[in-house]
Amino acid sequence: MPSPPPRLYLVTPPRFEPAAFVDQLAAALDGAEVACVRLRFSDADLGELRRAASLLRPVCHERGVAMVIEDHYRMVPNCGLDGAHFSLGASFPSDARHAVGADAILGVDCGASRHRGLVAGERGADYVAFGPVAASPEMQTSGLAEMELFAWWQEMIEVPVVAEGGVTPEVAVELIGVADFISISRSVWEHPEGPTAGVAAYATALKSKV
């Protein structure tokens, strides 16, 4: 039986104006089925983050899409979010599960390190992210996450894995069978035909190989 294609995991741009971005996010989510959206809002203060969460959360939840926030895990309960994602280099604190609740999602970026992934899994992460899988201006790193890492993880470990960074529609096809989710961002928001077409391009590429 063929492996199911990875599900799409959409990440917001690092900076945006929340009110203006609502329509862009809605357009992206209407392009194809998306499993999760991550609110990544670099250098924003807590007020800006709360405003962004309050505006974008309904767009996701109305479509049955989970929404997590990057690093600011203590905001999850009060903002009605579904969980938190810890970026590479951010600590995964022992109180994170207590802070977000038993049913919330906790994900950890582990770069290209199998060891970090195993530690995150042992600490209760609901998913780990490895990457970048190819050179990516969005992620500064000294090494790439090779396909062999994803293949080993998929065979040996039950914790779901996200491919993060440098994922194009063509690369997404190569990840069928070894990644549970693929993280997409810049290629969607900068797509010449708009975010709907940006997300649809991934869905089309993945379906072509099913």
Cβ(105)–Cβ(126) below 8 Å: yes
Kindly report, residue by residue over 70-100, the tens digit of the pLDDT.
999 999 999 999 999 999 988 898 889 999 9
Mean pLDDT for 19-28 is 98
Beta strands in 71-134 (DSSP E): 83-86, 105-109, 127-130
Which is nearest to 176 in space by CA: 2, 5, 7, 9?
5
d(CA 62, CA 83): 17
Predicted local confidence at residue 13, as pLDDT = 96
Residue 101 pLDDT level (bands cut at 50, 70, 90): very high
Q: Domain-by-domain residue ranges, the chain?
A: 7-207
Q: Looking at per-residue confidence, does 43 or 11 come out higher? A: 11
Residue 142 pLDDT level (bands cut at 50, 70, 90): low
Cβ(85)–Cβ(69) below 8 Å: yes
The pTM assigned to this predicted structure is: 0.95
Kindly report, residue by residue over 28-69, the tens digit of the pLDDT.
999 999 999 999 998 889 999 999 999 999 999 999 999 999
Q: For residue 139, how many C-alpha atoms fall within 13 Å in the half-sphere facing its CB?
A: 30
Residue 208 pLDDT level (bands cut at 50, 70, 90): confident
Kindly report, residue by residue over 174-184, the tens digit of the pLDDT.
999 999 999 99
Residue 1 pLDDT level (bands cut at 50, 70, 90): low
Identity of the amino acid at 145? A
Domain 7-207 has CATH 1.10.10.10: no
* Cα 22 to the center of its chain, rounded Å: 18
